[in-house]
Amino acid sequence: MKLSLNWIKKYVNLPKDLTMTKLSYDLTMCTVEVEDTVSIKKNLNGFVVGRILTVESHPDADKLRVCKVDVGDTEPSTIVCGGVNLAPNQLTVVAVPGAMVSWHGEGDPVEIKPSKLRGVMSYGMICSSNEIGLEDLFPTTQPAEIMDITNFDIKPGTPVAEALDLDDIIIDIDNKSLTNRPDLWGHYGMARELAAIYGCQLKPFDKVELPKTTDGLSIVIDSKECCARYAGLVVKNIKNVPSPFAIQSLLWRVGVRPISLPVDITNYVMLATGQPTHGFDRNHIKGSIHVRRAFAGEKLELLDGDILTLTTEDLVIADEKAAVALAGVMGGKLDSILSETTELIVEVANFDALSIRRTAQRFDLRTEASSRFEKGIDPQRVDDALAVIVSMLNREFPEAEISGYVDNYPMPLEEAKIRVSLTFLRKRLGKELSEQQIDKYLKSLGFEVSFNGDDMLVKVPSWRSTGDISIPDDILEEIARLMGYENFEYVPPTVVLEKAINQRGACMERALREYLAFRCGMQEIFTYPWIEDEYILASGADMSEMLELSMPPAPNESHLRSTLVPGLLKSVFTNLRYYESFRIFELTQIFKNNNYHSINETLEMLPNMARHLGAAFVGNDARVLFREAKGVVEHMHTGTQMEKLSFAQIQKPMWAEDKLWINILLNDELVGEIGLVSPKVTRDAGIRRSVTVIFELDVEKLKPLASRNNVFTHLPEYPRVNFDLSITFDESVKWSDIYEVAFKTGSVKDVRFIDEYRGSQIGENKKSVTFRTWIGSDEGTLTSDKIDLVTKQIAKKLNKRLGGDIRGL
């Protein structure tokens, strides 16, 4: 919202030495955020008033003229100009050589230099209103029109800002910070706030006489729940003429386009008091004015030309025959102030915030009026607006007659009173305040305070009582912000030391992430919880158990992930554009439309939201990737203080191919799966090269340990020896069987897989498995005979039980 400093100063005498920097800072700290302050004068620097003396044609250019212009110097300047409305004696705006000017009222200033135009030297430029950012105040009627200010009787050479009385500063307030302060949506409200901050006097509005008669005006509020008050004035003998420049200029400064005097007055009132008003052509209003809900399908043509089809939720102003305005949003085109209007009905009303917001939203119509009503204006403000409007009418239309007045205010606003304990204030502020201090701060904001022992009773002014101030904490805030938050020094809180924090769940989750990232060399990723349907379909996940968003980000992204696999597939797909081989993981919640449960409130039934861990290993060798993934899961407990996981083939994941998959178990419970993504899934996910192994784990099922559970084993007293064996088996023989046999041989302490080999030397359906065996004894060093013996025993057992074949033994 834009505010004019000069306008604010009509209502309050600010301290003489107050700089704009200080004002912005103080307002930002205590009240609302000042986004920017703009000096209009500064933007008009370098432009002066010039009087055109002569206009002659240019010797070499049809469209250019050579003018003599008085710009306040002893000699007239020669200026070449292409303006179509140049005329002798005209007053206009000139940028003279040496001046630094900002074109269009913005950007960095540039210097004006004399220049030759088609062979004729030109000393300066005659400007159009558009070139100096004043097109809204001085609209052009044709292209290449220079700004004409002949109506202003000003000496040539006068700076334009001074000539047009535009020495003002525009304060731009962040609208978001104003949301909760409906009292600040006008210049008077901001003046009141500044008066409180700087302890200055606020001027009251003019006292005005309102007519005692209705002059036939009748107002019926049919929808009392949406309209607390509706006042109307009948004004006769007005003309739809342009406003005086001073009024136009004020409106223009704060971003409102001047239209005509009657309309500008209604806008002026709104900008002054924050109370929107509206004018109807009295001759168009048949019978009583009604404030009612629209009929279903009722049509209304608005001032902007849009024809709306209304709903029964929309509030309208209507006469006996039809709706004449969309209440609190915009007037109707047919019955508002028209060019031939001579008699007015001026509406000053209070409408319900929510109703106005809904309607404005429904039709995507945010107007100056609706954005004010939406914040919740107090009905008392109607009186302020009436005072301003009557004095404006008296001044601007001396010949007009205010002949009728009706104020329909069925339920006057109740005074809000808050009881506050002084002890509460002192404790929460951390400061001792006297009753006088408290009284001073609150009074300056319009509150009335009475003290009674530890209690004080605070009467809230009407303009702060529509939701903003209702509890003792609000009063505390009012005092604290006026004292200045910077004046409260940091007070270190005192704490009671209790038990140390021990959060196993949170620790395990972090340990898991750090294990994967730092021990396993994997990169953590985040993906959205909603996923494109194509990846869900590719993964074969069951859509029927997924939750859906009512209004998804995109039509094909309505499902919430019930598994991390689709997101991993997508991430693999996107990263394969830049990488051939990588490892990624994500640890986050999944969502399923089942297992509804309560965590705080029995009525609140929340769906299944287990945390899952998903990982993808991408490269070229499926066997190696699979073993890598398995290794990461197999050793997970070592880095994360949780119970050890085991493996078994129980149920193939939907997305895995037939051979390379295995389930992950914890104490016989299925907790996850590892698998090579099948060719079909790979293809459906758009992945063209590389193979992907994925694992997914239900983190909720993992069991964090209370402490580390490693055990120490004595170092062997006698050295251990190891030897490698390569033995050929049928393909059907599994490593786990080989291990079992070898490990259960006497003196064997450890057996580890090294390698497997397939090839023509070995024969079809055969493989050669190489493994390393450690043997040792607690009684003494093993002799070479003993080592030979154990080696032979292992080979023999593997041969007998598993058909293993070792040459040379």
Partner 1 sequence: MLDKLKDNMQSKENTVEKNDLFARLKEIKTAGIEKINATFLPEELQLVRANLIGRKGKVTEILKSVGQASPEVRKILGQAANEVKQVLSDAIDQHNEHLLDSLSSVDGEVDITLPGIVPQQGGLHPITQICYDLNDAFNSLGFEVFSEPEITSELFAFDNLNFPPEHPARESMDTYWIKGHDEGHGAKRLCMRPHLTGASVRYLQQHGAPARFVYPGRVYRNETTDARHERAFFQYEALIVDKDFSFASGKILVKTILDKVFGRDVKVRMRVGYFPFVEPGFEIDMLCLVCDGAGCKVCKHVGWIEVMPGGTPHPNVLKAAGLDPSVWSGFYINIGLDRLVMMRYGVDDVRLFHSADLRFLNQFK
* Residues 684-723 within binding reach of partner 1 (CB under 8 A): none
Is 591 a binding residue for partner 1 by CB under 8 A? The answer is: yes
Tokens 């009582």 appear where? Answer: 465
**Residue 326 pairs with which residues in a beta bridge?**
316, 330
Q: Which of 85, 175, 589, 777 binds partner 1 (CB under 8 A)?
A: 589
Name the minimum Å distance from CB 637 to partner 1: 18
- Give CA–CA dist 578/15, Å, rounded: 64
Judged by CB under 8 A, the chain residues 234 through 273 that form the site for partner 1 are: none
Phi (first) and psi of residue 382, to 5 degrees: -55, -40
For helices 261-273 and 187-198, angle between their N-to-C axes, nearest 10 degrees: 30
543 binds partner 1 (CB under 8 A): no
CB of 521 to partner 1, least distance (A): 3
Interaction residues for partner 1, span 19-48 (CB under 8 A):
28-33
- Piece in contact with partner 1 (CB under 8 A), picked from 91-99, 211-219, 363-371, 580-588: 580-588
Assess 603 for contact with partner 1 (CB under 8 A): yes
- Cα 103 to chain centroid, rounded: 33
Number of other CB atoms surrounding residue 20 within 10 Å: 14
Nearer to partner 1 by C-beta: 489 or 785?
A: 489
Residues from 165 through 194 that contact partner 1 (CB under 8 A): 177, 179-181
With respect to partner 1, which residue has the nearer C-beta, 165 or 604?
604
Among 109, 211, 607, 686, binds partner 1 (CB under 8 A): 607
CB of 309 to partner 1, least distance (A): 21
By CB under 8 A, residue 427 contacts partner 1: yes
The one among 526, 718, 735, 753 contacting partner 1 by CB under 8 A: 526
Q: Give the one residue of 20, 117, 259, 429 binding partner 1; rule: CB under 8 A.
A: 429
Contact residues for 87 (Cβ-Cβ < 8 A; gap 6+)? 52, 55
The DSSP letter of residue 515 is: I
Q: Where does this chain touch partner 1 (CB under 8 A) — which range of 80-88, 278-286, 542-550, 672-680?
A: 542-550
Among 172, 319, 448, 514, binds partner 1 (CB under 8 A): 514
521 binding partner 1? (CB under 8 A): yes
Phi and psi, residue 606, nearest 5°: -100, 145
- Residue 617 pairs in a beta bridge with 583, 693
d(CA 332, CA 788): 107
Cα separation, 431 vs 423, in Å, equals: 10
Other residues' Cβ atoms within 10 Å of the Cβ of residue 314: 27
CA dist list (Å): 722 to 79, 713, 749, 757, 804? 104, 19, 10, 21, 20
- Restricting to residues 90-119, name those near partner 1 by CB under 8 A: none
Do 89 and 52 touch, CB atoms closer than 8 A? yes
CB of 379 or CB of 567, closer to partner 1: 567
Residues in 432-471 that interact with partner 1 by CB under 8 A: 467, 471
Out of 547, 629, 676, 727, the residue judged to bind partner 1 by CB under 8 A? 547
Single-letter residue type at 779: E
Rounded Cα distance between 487 and 483, Å, is 7
How many C-beta neighbours within 10 Å does residue 453 have? 7
- The residues pairing with 802 across neighbouring beta strands, listed in sequence order, are none
Residues 407 to 426 in contact with partner 1, rule: CB under 8 A:
424
Q: C-beta of 315: minimal distance to partner 1 in Å?
A: 15
Among 506, 543, 648, 754, binds partner 1 (CB under 8 A): 506
Tokens 């914890």 correspond to 666
Per CB under 8 A, the list member of 78, 223, 575, 646 interacting with partner 1 is 575
CB of 417 to partner 1, least distance (A): 17
CB of 154 to partner 1, least distance (A): 35
Least separation in angstroms between residue 589's CB and partner 1 is: 5
Q: In the range 342-371, which residues lie near partner 1 by CB under 8 A?
A: 353-354, 357
Distance of closest approach, residue 744 Cβ to partner 1, in angstroms: 36
Q: Which of residues 313-332 bind partner 1 (CB under 8 A)?
A: none
Q: Which of residues 473 and 730 has its CB atom nearest to partner 1 in the complex?
A: 473
Distance between CA atoms of residues 700 and 41, nearest Å: 66
The single residue among 246, 307, 411, 495 that binds partner 1, judged by CB under 8 A, is 495
Contacts of 644 (CB under 8 A, 6+ apart): 637
Residue tagged 């409260």 (tokens) = 488
Helix axes 422-429, 472-483, angle to 10 degrees: 50
Taking the least distance from each CB to partner 1, the nearer of 400 and 560 is 560
Give the range of 278-286, 549-557, 770-778, 800-808 binding partner 1 by CB under 8 A.
549-557
* DSSP structure string for 642-694: BPPPEEE--S--TTEEEEEEEEEEETTEEEEEEEEEPHHHHHHTT--SSEEEE
Q: How far apart are CA 336 and CA 324, in angstroms?
A: 8
Per the structure block, which two tokens stand in for 421? 């304990």
- Site residues for partner 1, 55-74, by CB under 8 A, read none
Query: Nearer Cβ to partner 1, position 307 or 491?
Result: 491
Min dist. Cβ of residue 490 to partner 1 (A): 5
- Exactly one of 366, 510, 644, 758 binds partner 1 (CB under 8 A); which one? 510
Residue environment code for 492-513, b if the CB has 16+ CB neighbours within 10 A, otherwise e: eeeeeeeeeeeeeeeebbebbb
Of 322, 376, 330, the residue nearest 351 (C-alpha): 376
**Restricting to residues 465-494, which ones interact with partner 1 according to CB under 8 A?**
467, 471, 473-474, 476-477, 480-481, 485-486, 488-493
Q: Alpha-carbon distance 259 to 264, whole Å? A: 6
Provide, rounded to whole angstroms, the least separation between the CB of residue 601 and partner 1: 5
Distance of closest approach, residue 797 Cβ to partner 1, in angstroms: 39
CB of residue 673 to partner 1, shortest distance in Å: 21
Question: What is d(CA 538, CA 686) in angstroms, rounded to the nearest whole number?
Answer: 9
**Is residue 295 involved in binding partner 1 (CB under 8 A)?**
no
Q: Which is nearer to partner 1, 292 or 570 (CB)?
A: 570
Min dist CB 190 to partner 1, Å, is: 14
Sign, CA torsion 251/314/316/224: negative
d(CA 708, CA 710): 6
Token pair in block for residue 625 = 């990737």
Of 139-147, 279-287, 524-532, 768-776, the window that binds partner 1 (rule: CB under 8 A) is 524-532
Radius of gyration of the chain (CA): 42
Judged by CB under 8 A, which of 503, 595, 638, 770 binds partner 1?
Answer: 503
Query: Taking contact as CB under 8 A, which single stretch among the options 59-67, 275-283, 287-295, 552-560 is the one that binds partner 1?
Result: 552-560
Shortest separation between residue 472's beta carbon and partner 1, angstroms: 8
User: At its nearest, how many Å lie between partner 1 and the CB of residue 493?
Assistant: 4
DSSP state letters, 26-82 = HHHHHT--EEEEEEHHHHTTTEEEEEEEEEEEETTEEEEEEEEEE-SSSSPEEEEE-
| Single residue of 579, 718, 735, 743 touching partner 1 by CB under 8 A | 579
CB 779 within 8 A of CB 747: no
Our CB check for partner 1 shows the closer of 428 and 758 to be 428
- Closer residue to partner 1, CB minimum distance, 309 or 523: 523
Q: Determine, following the binding rule CB under 8 A, whether residue 141 of this chain makes contact with partner 1.
A: no
Number of residues that bind partner 1 (CB under 8 A): 89
